[in-house]
Amino acid sequence: QSVMLCQAFQPDLILLDWLMPVMNGYQVLQALAPYMQQQPYLPVLVLTADMSRESWQLAFSAGAKDFLVKPLDIIEVQLRIRNLLELRYLYLKLQEQGQSLQRNSQNV
């Protein structure tokens, strides 16, 4: 279902709770892996009450770009979201410029 939601909404950022009742965050990241490989830098911010080293290692190894532990500080969450969205924007712009340069070099 997470893949279908991403395909339908094409998010610029995913906020993912790590501890959920049906699927945990790691399982969601595994399910999203094929979709995320097709996307140009789709950041995932994991939010969790699980402070274990294993959790953040799993999250990062599965494709998360950032990790915040609850209780959350709203200012920190906003700043991390802003940073991740800025990185995505810059990545997309860089990719766009690369494609433009490639097209221009083919026309020469």
Convert the pLDDT of each residue in 51-62 to its tens digit.
Answer: 999 999 999 999
Residues 8-51: tens digit of each pLDDT: 999 999 999 999 999 999 999 999 999 999 998 999 999 999 99
60, amino acid identity: F
CB 13 within 8 A of CB 85: yes
How far is the C-alpha of 98 from the C-alpha of 108, rounded, in Å? 16
pTM of the complete model: 0.89
